[in-house]
Structures are given as C-alpha cells and as structure tokens.
Chains A and B, each alone.
Chain A
Amino acid sequence: MTEPRHSATHPRVSREHVLHLLRQMIRIRRFEEKCAELYTQEKIRGFLHLYIGEEAVATGVMEALEPDDAIVATYREHGHAIVRGIPMTRIMAEMYGKQEGCSRGRGGSMHIFDAATRFYGGNAIVGGGLPMAIGLALADKMQRRNRVTVCFFGEGAAAEGEFHESLNLAALWKLPVLFVCENNRYAMGTALARSESETDIHRKAESYRIVSHAVDGMNVVDVEAAAREAAAAVRETGEPRFLECRTYRFRAHSMFDAQLYREKSEVEAMREQGPIKRLTEWAEGTHFIHDNDLERIEAEVAAEVDDAVAFAEAGTWEPLEDLTRHVMAEPAEARL
C-alpha cells in the first residue's frame, strides 16, 4: 500500500476516510454476494454480472465526483450505482424487476438508471456508452457548465470501433470526459493478450493525445488518488483524461460462465490481493481500524442488504396494462 499523501487532489487518508472506503467496498461486496444467492433462488433472472473483486475501482473513482457530474457505466454497474448513492433498496428492486426499482423494473441488472444522481446506465453493448459520454460532455461544454462526465468500460471495449471514435472525438473537441477503463483482463472469456496487439490499454489513449495513466485497480487509495488528480485536471482544463484501472473479477463473467478460460490458481492468487483484504490489512497495520470497526461495518451493511431484499420482496409488479408505456414520452414527460 502506498504512503498516505495529502494535497487538494489526493485523498486525505484519515481513519474516518479509510473506514468510509472500506464500508463502500463492503457494501458492494455483500450486495453482490446476496445477488448471487438470490439468483440461485430465481429471484433475480436474466444476466447477472457481479463486481466482486473490482470494488476498488468504482469506490475510488466515485470519491472524485461532485453531485452534478455524470456517470455512464456498463452492464457490470451495481457497484457504481451503490457508491454513487442510489438507494440499495431501489437497486435491489430493479434486480427483481419490480416497479419500485430505480428503472421501474424495466431495465434489470444491466440497466440501472437514476436521474437524481445523473447515473446514465447500465449499457449492455460493449463500448456503446462511450459516445453517450462524449455527447453529455459536449452538452456541458456548449452550455458552459463545468462538470465532468465519467465513462466506465472494460478493456474489452478497446477492441470496439466506438472506443476509438469516441477517444478521438473527445480529444479533438476537448471534451470534459474522464474515461475509466476497468481492465479485469478478460473480455468475457477472452484474455487480453488473445484479443489485443497492444495490451497496455492506456497507451491507446495516449495515441489520441489524451493524458493517460495506469493504476493498480486493486488498491482503492491509489485509484482514488489517480481519479482525484484526473477529475481535477478535467475540471481545470475541460479536456479528457484516461485512467486504466488494473483489476480482476473474482467471480464468473455472468452466472452462466463455467470459467474454462482461466486457472483456479490464478483466481486464488488474485483473491489474496483483493481490494477489501488489502485495505483492511493496511488499515490494521496503520491502526486506522480499531477492534470493533469491521464487525460494526459488517453488521450495518448486513442490515442494509436485508432491508434492500425486504424492499424488493415487498415491491410490486407493474400492471400488464402498462406494457407499452415508457417507449415514447407521455404528456407529463413531453417537456424536457
């Protein structure tokens, strides 16, 4: 773990902040574990992509954002939604497909949206969110608003044309986008080296003249520091930045994945470097964590997850008569 750093753009590493980061990652972890359990009970259906192992990325990056910044995420976005501040109850109701869900149940696991926190999904087309992020940032630039649009995507997106088209446009038009590549080393089951001639993803961004860094995505403090620096630069210059967070997915790609493409020993080795484990051990070493802290956090998070499940269970199904709603604007929506 890196030494604590203190500056305007670096996280203030205090006991309070370390516990906050730990709590955020544990909230994601326990929520995802519950989702896996609910999937086996068939409460959650469809595709379910868990963020377990990658918690440090969303947690660290989200610390760098202001309330009026925008987030564009992928189909592995539960964690981002949780740490952005969408109530866990409404996220879980969305998992169930209940109309109390944050997308009224219409989206499910892969399509979490929330206007209140400027959370623009939940995009299940790899690379499909990048052009939207470009456009959100273009709107800010043209309306002279000093806001950042953060766009999360996996390293698999680097193989898509939309990645290259969007990076070029962001650099060419000087748009305030923070690109965050969550490089978990496998595009579903395809290892990076089996799909890319240049495996240093951040170097692709450099080729578009975007200032770009790679960071240890298993270290939440490093991610936060890098994200704060990058977001501050985007705000200051109005130009894009690119952050490659090197991380690892502990669980299967989705619940249908038998994981034939990687060795169990590799997963086990990476688990030893897990973001929660590492922060906990470091915090214990520096005495930021006191005796009962973990137990207290775990108990509080368990209660939050239980509440979320209870909320989703008590949720209601949208009536069949509503089937074709929300395709085109209804009179109440027709102002924008």
Chain B
Amino acid sequence: MSKVETTYREAVRAGIREALQQDERVFLMGEDVGAYGGCYAVSMGLLEEFGEERIRDTPLSESAFTGAGIGAAMGGMRPIVEVMTVNFSLLALDQIMNTAATVRHMSGGQFGVPVVIRMATGAGKQLAAQHSHSLEGWLAHIPGIRVVAPATLEDARGMLWTALQDPDPVLIFENALLYNRKGKLAAEAGAVDIDRAAVRREGDRVTLVTYGGSLFKTLQAAEELAAEGVAAEVIDLRTLRPLDDATIMKSVRKTRRAVIVDEGWRSGSLSAEISARITEQCFWDLDAPVARVCSAEVPIPYPKHLEDAAIPQVPGIVQAARETLGR
C-alpha cells in the first residue's frame, strides 16, 4: 500500500473534499470557511473547487448557522457545520442541546438530525482563556448525539464520511495542536468506524486511556515507561460518546491499573466518567486506584510556561503511571 506524507489538516480537508464529491447533499458552512480558507486553513481551496453554495461563509451567528445546519439536515441535506472553536460553540449550545439532541426523541422518532458539527478544541497555542478549552466532555454528557475525537491521520481522514452516514448528530472535535502534525497516510485511506476505541500501543503493566490531542503525549509517556521496563498499553478512545467500555475494560482487566489522561478539567470530566465505569466494572481486577492526569482547575492562561503547566504533559503522565505501580 503506497503511503503519502500529509498533515492532519490536509487529511481533514481530504475527508471534506471526498464527501463533497461523493454526495451532492453535503455542504460546508461556518465562519470564514470560504474566502478566508478556514481559520485553521482546513478548507483552503474548497471555495474555488465547489463554489459559494456548497462552501458557505456565515455571519458570526453560531446559534443560527448551527441551527440552520440542523434544519437543513432535517430537510434532506447533509451539512457539515464548522464552528471555529469549542468556546464559540457555547453560543450554539442551545441548538445542539435543545434541538439537535432532542428532536428525534420529542418527535417520537419521526424526525432525525443527520448533521455533522466540527470544531477545534484544546490548548497549547497561547490563545488564553476564551479559545483554549477542552469542553468535549460536556458535550459527551448529552444523550442524542455522538461525539468523536480523531487523533490520528487515519481518523482525521476517515471519521467524517462515517459521521455523515450517521442518521443522528455527530460532533467532531479536532485538537488545534494536531493540525500541523505530519505523517504518512495510505493513499487509499478512507472511511473508518466511529464506534470503537483503538489500542494504539500494547502493554501489560498499566493502561493509559486518552484521546485527541493528548494521544501523542501519552504515547511518548509509554515510550519513556518502556525504557524503565514498564509496558504500558495506550487506548485512544476515538469516540467519546458512546464510550467503548469493552475495549477499556478488556485492557484494564489485563493490566490491573489505569491512568486516564484528559485535557478537560478534572471536576465532572470525561476522565471522571471513565474512572467511575472502571470502578463499576473492574473493581475486583484493580491492583491500584484509578489515576487521572487532567487540566488544572484554571481558565487556560496566556503565558507559555503557565499554559504548559495547566494541561497534561508527558512527565505527569509518566509519574501517574509509576505511582499506580508503587514506584
């Protein structure tokens, strides 16, 4: 299989292009997706290729254009709504929570909302306390939607198509630090499942559970642990709702130890949910308390040293893993 060098950004763009080429119901809309090329340059060139009707620049009206995506999906289209960052998506939370997630239920199954909403998430670019948060755990709280977080190039390329086939709303969280990440991707790379977590590294001493932007830090931590003779297994959740309990529990039953790495704040977080599930389902298999590495309970600060200290980093992950082993 031939492989080509690509970036996460290019992989996301390739997924969008394929969807636009393959399904005439698909269109992209959001702030600056057209003439500007996307605030993270994801949609660069798509306006020229597909035209203004399908690459649709919107006013700064998160609620209305997200709701318009919902309505268009109900009207037979397959919209991809891009929201610049998860912080801005709070202006559309009414539409996501009160409409997208509820219409199927409130209508007794008569109407579905096959919309895909993409947004950037995460810290690390010194964008301070209104552009840097990881709120995907909040969204993963809501029944009626699916939440996914592609971390690898394969998932950046392939999750969108599968999300567009889903009859229910799918939220895609793209960690902003990943856009420039380079790697090799199979030339024929295409759709991937959005149901299951993936074991990104096998090991038998401790399970490290993570997703999105923290995956590569966690893999680095596993590398350092290996140098100490500790074989860590790394699970990439991929789908944050519904959680793939089976893959998590299978690993924890094997390693008997778990560390959850989550860029969200610790209190009321996705990591708290996973910790609870491990305790509920694997309590008697555990050899150590479940550990968590999360963001500090502070709005993300601007200065680099403080921002770095606020979010999970490799040394903290390594240390947490060591502690589960009594080291």
The answer, among A120, A143, A333, for a CB contact under 8 Å with B74, is A120
Question: Within the assembled complex, what's the spacing in Å between the Cα atoms of A121 and B100?
Answer: 13
Find A326's partner among B65, B77, B94, B108 (CB 8 Å cutoff).
Answer: B108
Name the B residues within 8 Å of A121 (CB-CB).
103, 106-107
A and B contact pairs by CB, cutoff 8 A, 5 listed: A113-B110, A115-B111, A142-B72, A326-B109, A330-B109
**B residues near A115, Cβ cutoff 8 Å:** 107, 110-111
B76 interfacial contact with A, CB 8 Å: yes
B41-68 contacts to A, CB under 8 A, are 53, 58-59, 61, 63-68
Q: How many A-B residue pairs have CB under 8 A?
A: 156
Determine if A107 and B112 form an interchain contact, defined as CB atoms under 8 angstroms apart. no
Give CA–CA (A128, B66) in the complex, Å.
11
Q: Which residues on the A side are within 8 Å of B69 (C-beta)? A: 135
Interface size class of A (residues with CB under 8 A): 35 or more
Given contacts A107-B108, A328-B104, A336-B112, contact A139 B67 (CB under 8 A): no
B73 at the interface (CB under 8 A from A): yes
Docked-complex contact A132 and B70, CB < 8 angstroms: yes
Which 7 A/B pairs are nearest by Cβ-Cβ distance? A135-B71, A131-B67, A139-B75, A104-B108, A165-B64, A113-B107, A165-B61
Q: Which residues from chain A contact B168 at a C-beta distance below 8 Å?
A: 328-329
Identify A103's interface contact among B65, B79, B106, CB under 8 A: B106
The verdict on A264 contacting chain B, using a C-beta distance below 8 Å, is no
Are B98 and A135 in contact (CB-based, < 8 A)? no
13 new A-B pairs (CB below 8 Å) besides A114-B110, A162-B67?
A103-B108, A111-B106, A121-B103, A125-B98, A132-B67, A134-B67, A134-B68, A162-B94, A169-B61, A172-B59, A328-B104, A330-B109, A336-B112
Determine if A133 and B71 form an interchain contact, defined as CB atoms under 8 angstroms apart. yes
- Which B residues are in CB contact (< 8 Å) with A139? 71-77
Q: Are A336 and B167 in contact (CB-based, < 8 A)?
A: yes
Q: How many residues of B contact A (CB 8 A)?
A: 42
Question: Smallest CB–CB gap between A45 and chain B, Å?
Answer: 16
Beyond A106-B108, A325-B109, A326-B105, whether A131 also contacts B64 by CB under 8 A is yes
Q: Chain A 130-171, CB within 8 Å of chain B: the 1/0 string?
A: 111111111110110000000000000000011001101100
Task: Kindly identify which residue among B74, B75, B104, B111 contacts A327, using a CB–CB cutoff of 8 Å.
Answer: B104
Task: Give the distance in Å from the alpha carbon of A106 to the alpha carbon of B143 in the complex.
Answer: 15
Contact A142/B53 with A103-B106, A328-B168, A330-B109 known, Cβ cut-off 8 Å: yes
Task: List chain B residues, Cβ under 8 A from A166.
Answer: 61, 64, 67-68
Q: Does A238 contact B (CB under 8 A)?
A: no
- As a 0/1 sequence over residues 166 to 196 of chain A, the CB contacts with chain B under 8 angstroms (1 = contact) are 1011001000000000000000000000000
Given A138-B77, A329-B168, decide whether A132 and B106 contact each other with a Cβ distance below 8 A. no
> In the bound complex, do residue A128 and residue B144 qualify as a contact, i.e. CB atoms below 8 Å apart?
no
